[in-house]
Structure 1
């Protein structure tokens, strides 16, 4: 049996091939009655559009890409990232676009960008000096960053990570803690020839430093331990085992993700210690699980799903010729039992 073509559908419906093309790509250009008639025949004949023919007609692929900053397994192990991706996907579905998940290639975002076959891109955690930004600009590919940096080169959707980090560290310090361990994000968005990692990591460390300085403490002091930690329960659990093997045990742990903080909380209790009596624990994200664990987790709320929705909406509007604008979303310190001393 030969493959069904637009010509076959047009003949069966008694309309032109242009009308069929409009039904498949621009339904608003034909009457509802004609659209329904054509689509009923499309369904009956089992027609599958040729993506390359569609591209010639619409000058678009009908897809946006999400460049992942970490290994795909690590990303989907973090509930906050899952919320962001869900928000992007929901907006793509509403606008009838596909979403392509683009993992690192040979450990690099820029390699994934070079091999992408999409109309527009969303990146996570990259700053205006990142090599991928230059690539996208040169090729006139619309793109938006999530948790990047507001600049002339990048349209960004995110929260004020520096002040959010400052608030949660100040809260921990105000509880009397001076021996503090930080479970830092392990990011893969490092630009070539840069001493920094992701923008999120930079800004949160700046916030931590400002809070510590108010108590005459520095990030470089021995009383502040910093461990790189993936955003997973296992990584948080393993980090606590390392901390408890050190001669000086921290009295508080501030994790840059809730899921790592929950892993830390579990490990502390497995070692016969109390939270927050022996070690206080704070996280970041306010994922649903943070209020369900015992004790409930002190954290920073940030709207993950809304980040994704706003980023997808913005980049799709830019694809239609709109001017991109930065969006700063709200955050909030949520104080729960995991840091409150009796």
Structure 2
């Protein structure tokens, strides 16, 4: 015979069943599968649970549903860098809005012991969104072995890997064309650093796609990224404001200072502008600066930043919607979603001054 509920002790499903007059199975249905009992029964059970102060154990509920009710976002770098990049934060906001819609939590998953593969093996999630993942990586095999649905942002467009991208190569080509048409020939390109997914083995990474676009435009003007004696130089920076300022410092010390800096990240471009301004280097009069992302801050820096607009929040939103369709067993349609970009010309880019 069931004992009456003891005040001060956490109530259980047994207590609700006894107090409401319904079975433990009915109580479970009321919380997890309400369509399997009548509306009246569910109302009585929920009212009883509220009166007793019952709160469902989320682990037990998830075990019953055979779901974690969470999706994972694999951070491309350690948290120290990932969370200081406004572009990544906007992607997370887009994903989060969809999680809220479906009643899921969002789990942020950084590399575990410097290994993104180890992080995936232990992630308690129903699906994953990644950034910059390439076909053929070990992580893909791990997700497939776990039968985890996944979508990648800024990864390899492939029939085997659902992805959300912009045409990075074309975007880089167009923005470099704009710079060259302004008369710039001494140019420094600041690339993205390698992330947890990048490797020299893979030619489809975002930095490599953008470099192909830059190189195509440069060749039309008789220049090249890869001419070591040429007037186009390359640097690499982490995507943080502090690293952008440090990059600005390094650029200012170059023997032949460029007339234009093109970065693959707005936050790096903004860091460069702040450094130049703090050290008496006029932007754009002495050195023009161009970004990539069109984060909100690019509109508020002085001078305002010329950049490539790629809607990071839309990328996150579309990737999450696609992932939930996969989790729910729905048809995905096209596995590759390419969203439009645009070039936003603002005050930080001007014609080269004629001396």
1:191: how far off? 5.5
Pick aligned residue for 2:211 from 192, 196, 205: 205
TM-score after normalising by structure 1: 0.93
Query: In 1, are the aligned partners of 2:156 and 2:204 still within 8 Å (CA)?
Result: no
3-state DSSP class of the match of 1:54? helix
State the match for 1:337 in structure 2.
Answer: 347
Alignment of 1:83-102 (within 5 A): 83-102=90-109
1:323: how far off? 3.2
1:64: how far off? 0.9
- 1:305 and 2:313 aligned: yes
Query: In 2, are the aligned partners of 1:190 and 1:198 still within 8 Å (CA)?
Result: no
1:88: how far off? 0.8
Pick aligned residue for 1:130 from 137, 145, 156: 137
CA distance, structure 1, for counterparts of residue 118 and residue 196 of structure 2: 12
1:287: how far off? 0.9
Deviations 1:10-65 (A, max 9, x none): 33334343343233223455555654554444444343333442233211111111
Segments of structure 1 that go 5 or more residues without pairing to the other structure are none
Pick aligned residue for 2:242 from 231, 234, 241: 234
Q: In structure 2, do the counterparts of structure 1 residues 33 and 206 end up closer, same or farther at CA, with 3 Å as the change threshold?
A: farther
- 1:167 and 2:188 aligned: no
Alignment of 1:280-295 (within 5 A): 280-295=288-303
CA distance, structure 2, for counterparts of residue 252 and residue 32 of structure 1: 67
3-state DSSP class of the match of 2:301? coil
Query: In 2, are the aligned partners of 1:162 and 1:206 still within 8 Å (CA)?
Result: yes
Deviations 1:137-172 (A, max 9, x none): 122111110111121321001211111111111111
CA distance, structure 2, for counterparts of residue 29 and residue 94 of structure 1: 23
Higher-Rg member (1/2): 2
State the match for 1:17 in structure 2.
Answer: 24
TM-score after normalising by structure 2: 0.90
Q: In structure 2, do the counterparts of structure 1 residues 36 and 291 end up closer, same or farther at CA, with 3 Å as the change threshold?
A: farther
Tell me whether 11-20 or 168-177 shows the greater mean CA deviation: 11-20
CA distance, structure 2, for counterparts of residue 206 and residue 22 of structure 1: 56
State the match for 1:158 in structure 2.
Answer: 165
CA distance, structure 1, for counterparts of residue 343 and residue 39 of structure 2: 50
State the match for 1:117 in structure 2.
Answer: 124
CA distance, structure 2, for counterparts of residue 340 and residue 65 of structure 1: 42
Query: In 1, are the aligned partners of 2:187 and 2:232 still within 8 Å (CA)?
Result: yes
CA distance, structure 1, for counterparts of residue 217 and residue 61 of structure 2: 55
3-state DSSP class of the match of 1:134? helix
Pick aligned residue for 2:9 from 2, 11, 16: 2
State the match for 2:264 in structure 1.
Answer: 256
Q: In structure 2, do the counterparts of structure 1 residues 255 and 275 end up closer, same or farther at CA, with 3 Å as the change threshold?
A: same
3-state DSSP class of the match of 2:128? strand
- 1:219 and 2:225 aligned: yes
CA distance, structure 2, for counterparts of residue 33 and residue 287 of structure 1: 51
3-state DSSP class of the match of 2:191? strand
Tell me whether 183-192 or 239-248 shows the greater mean CA deviation: 183-192
3-state DSSP class of the match of 1:153? coil
Query: In 1, are the aligned partners of 2:188 and 2:235 still within 8 Å (CA)?
Result: yes
- Paired residue total: 341
CA distance, structure 2, for counterparts of residue 260 and residue 198 of structure 1: 22
3-state DSSP class of the match of 1:127? coil
3-state DSSP class of the match of 1:145? strand
Query: In 2, are the aligned partners of 1:187 and 1:197 still within 8 Å (CA)?
Result: no
Root-mean-square deviation (CA, aligned residues, Å) is 2.0
